[in-house]
Every structure is written in structure tokens, then in C-alpha cells.
Chains A and B, each alone.
Chain A
Amino acid sequence: MKQQKAIIFDSSTLISFSMNGVTEYLEKLRQVFNGKFIITFDVKGEVIDRPMQIKKFSLEALKLKQLLDKKIIEMPSSVGLNDKEVARRTDEILNMANSTYKDKNRNIHIIDSGEASCLAVSKMLNEKGFITVIAVDERTTRMLGEKPENLGKLLEKRLHVKINPNRNAYNFFKGFRFIRSAELVYVAYKKGLIDLKNGDVLDALLYAMKFKGCAISGDEIKEIKKLA
């Protein structure tokens, strides 16, 4: 039997799409994806429920709500996950992440519940045999999962304190896989899902994502363009 797939979306990636006014690309990507696009209860709160109450961002929130209403993005229950269990695993991950780095006086709290919930759902789905990736544009969660030692160095460098990492926690965060809005628009571009022409479309898409918060460097954008 073929393994089921899921992409779990963090708030930061959904925000990059909605603030650029290109949520329809997510819809098109979902149509060619043989799996589910998942958002968690905490992420929904950050990108839909709370901004719906703020005039400046209610349009972006409405666009994302429409994706939810059309089942382009779905809640964890759609893949058989229990909400209470997701909340429990989210707390577990949150506690672990926020005690991974310490200075001499305290634990440094690095992530919050939405980000932790994406890690929890990914882990839970992996346990059920799903192939998962997490779409996250902000870079702290990604660094924690991919190179926690680099995150420790970054904290040390920026905060000007000696960081004592809990290296046992590093193993806990191994195995997560991450993509960003940048890779998603690249796939959309390569699959011919973008109907823009007469210009450097890929460049425009990648920089649009960067300018709305996707943590991608100028060099990485150059590399992606070489692959196109």
C-alpha cells in the first residue's frame, strides 16, 4: 500500500501566501498533491481567528478561512488525529523545545504553541506511517529541527551569553523535514500552475515570499533560479 502524505502548514508560510495575495496557488498545489494539507488548531488561531478581528488583516484571514472551508487545508481530525492528544503532544514538544537552550540563569523560550503543534502533528502522523513535511517560513523552528547546534550558536552570538544546550533534546528534534513557501512556489512554477508571463516570474515569486517573512537568503534564491 502506498504511504499517505501530508504537508503541515505553520502560520508563517500561510501568512506569506495570504499577504502576497496568492492563496490560489495553495489551491492549485493541493489539486496536484496526493495527500493532505493540514493546519493545527493553534495555527488556525494565529492566521484566521485572531486576525479576523483586526481590520488591517481580516481580508488575509478570510482568504485562508476560505481555504479551510473548501477543505484545501484541513484540521488534524481529517487524518484521524485526536485534538486532545495533539494538544498533549504539543505541550510535550513545547516544554522540550523551551528547555533546550539555557544561559546561566534560565531556560530560553524559543518557540510557541503553533510552531510546537506543527512538530507534534508531524511526529504523530509519522508514527501512523505518513510521509510528512512541515511548511515553515520562520527560521527558528526549522533550525531547531535541522541544525539545533546552529540555533545554539545563533542565540549565543546574538544574545552575548554562554548557551548551555541540552544535547539530549537535539535527538528528540531529529527527523523533522521542512520546506518553505519558496519551495512551494518553485513547485507551482515548475508544474505550470502559475499563469503569470512576460517577466522573471520565479524571481518575483521568490522575492515576494522573502519580503513577507520567508526566511530565505539572496544566495538561496539565486540557487533556486539556477535549478529552474
Chain B
Amino acid sequence: MQERGNVLRILKETREALKKGDSATIKSLSDQTINTASLTQDPDNIAVAVIVYSLAKIVERHQYQEFRGWKEFYNSVIFSINHAIKDLEAGNDNKIGKDFEIINKQIEKLSGKLKKYIEDVFWKARINKASRIYEHGISMEKTAKLLGITMYELANYAGQARIDDVPLENTLDVRKRIKLAIEMFG
């Protein structure tokens, strides 16, 4: 696990915010994960980014707490984060992938609407985080592979996220580029 200290802090603060049902804080913590994930491209760092963002979305939707299976899901999340924190503190970084698996296994056990909604939140979180990493300057293909999504999903999402209005990205005058295209077809 790279940037261990930072990840440890984020997981501890996420756990506290989860207990208070404070989705805004979790969302803010999720934003803090994206630099590390873009920089290190470490699968565990990326997993933290996806999980924390998903939890922010899940906590925000209070109605999920009314569905059957919520309590078991919530407990598994706290259990998983507790283990991840313990393992990071003990220097057992290689175990945290397994710690996060606890959440996936619990989602598998869910049924009905809650299962569908939570799976959807986690999948969309991958696409959202991919879009953010792409925004940070990592290529579309590289980012899609890091997040395990298709380039179709990322292109569609990134296209609507309006991330291309940054002056630094204008690397050739558009008239010159048009001229180049016309010359090729001339």
C-alpha cells in the first residue's frame, strides 16, 4: 500500500463519519483519495477511492437504511474498515485487499432492491473515479484499465463531465488541426 499514512487517516475519518451518517464528510474524504490513486495507481489505493466514494453515496440515500439487509451490510462495512485499519497499523499492507473483499462478499449475500442499488452505486463509483483520474492527466485507456471498466463507459461519462475546457489542453490551434485534416483528405 502506497501513501499508507494518508490512507490510514482517510479510513479512520471515514469510519467516524459513517457512524454519524455524515455523507458530506465522507464525500470530502473521497475527493482526497483521488490524488493518491492517480499518482500511485496502486490497486489498493484505487479500491479505497472507490469504496469511500460509494459509501458517501450510500449514506446520502437514507432510504437504503429501510431495506432488508441494511444492518448486515453496514456492519460488514465497519468490520471491513476496522480490519483494514488494523492491518495498515500493523504493517500488513498486503492484507487490505482481503479486508475490502468482506464488503463484496456481503453485497453478494444481499437480495432484492438493496443488492441492486448497492451494486449500482459501486459500479458507478468506479466510473466516476475513472473520470476523475482521467481529469488528472492519465490517459483514457490507462484509466479504464486501472478501474476495470470499458473505455466506452469512461468516454461516455467523461464526455458529459465537461473536463476539456482547460487552456493547458489546447495544444494546437484548432484552425491548424482542421487544416491538417483537410490536407490529409486533399
A interface, CB within 8 angstroms of B: 5, 7, 11-12, 15-16, 19, 29, 32-33, 35, 46-47, 50-51, 54, 56-57, 60, 103, 106, 108-115, 131, 133, 137-143, 146-147, 150-151, 153-155, 157-161, 177-180, 183-184, 186-187, 190-191, 210-220, 223-224, 227
A32 to chain B, nearest CB (A): 6
Extra 12 A-B pairs, beta carbons < 8 Å, given A138-B139, A213-B156 = A15-B151, A109-B41, A115-B142, A138-B141, A140-B134, A158-B38, A159-B35, A183-B180, A211-B159, A213-B154, A214-B159, A217-B170
CB nearest to A33 among chain B residues: B185
Contact with B155, one of A160, A183, A213 (Cβ below 8 angstroms)? A213
| CA–CA, A108 and B177, complex, Å | 28
| CA–CA, A36 and B80, complex, Å | 54
Ranked nearest first, the 7 interchain pairs of A and B with the lowest CB-CB distance are: A213-B155, A138-B140, A183-B181, A146-B171, A140-B139, A147-B171, A158-B136
User: Main SS of the interface on chain B?
Assistant: helix
| CA–CA, A33 and B185, complex, Å | 5
Given A159-B39, A210-B164, check contact A109 B138 (CB 8 Å): yes
| CA–CA, A61 and B145, complex, Å | 18
| CA–CA, A155 and B145, complex, Å | 19
Question: Inside 8 A of B154's CB, which chain A residues have their CB?
Answer: 213
Q: Are B170 and A220 in contact (CB under 8 A)?
A: yes
| CA–CA, A15 and B151, complex, Å | 8
Contact with A143, one of B145, B171, B184 (Cβ below 8 angstroms)? B171
Interface centre among A110, A210, A220 (most CB of B within 10 A): A220
| CA–CA, A56 and B184, complex, Å | 34
20 contacts between A and B (CB under 8 A): A46-B141, A51-B150, A54-B150, A108-B39, A110-B138, A110-B142, A112-B139, A138-B155, A151-B137, A154-B166, A154-B169, A183-B181, A184-B181, A190-B182, A213-B159, A215-B169, A217-B165, A217-B169, A220-B174, A223-B175
Q: Are B164 and A19 in contact (CB under 8 A)?
A: no
| CA–CA, A142 and B141, complex, Å | 13
B40 at the interface (CB under 8 A from A): yes
B168 at the interface (CB under 8 A from A): yes
Question: Inside 8 A of B160's CB, which chain A residues have their CB?
Answer: 211
Q: Are A215 and B185 in contact (CB under 8 A)?
A: no
A90 to chain B, nearest CB (A): 12
B158 at the interface (CB under 8 A from A): yes
| CA–CA, A131 and B100, complex, Å | 51
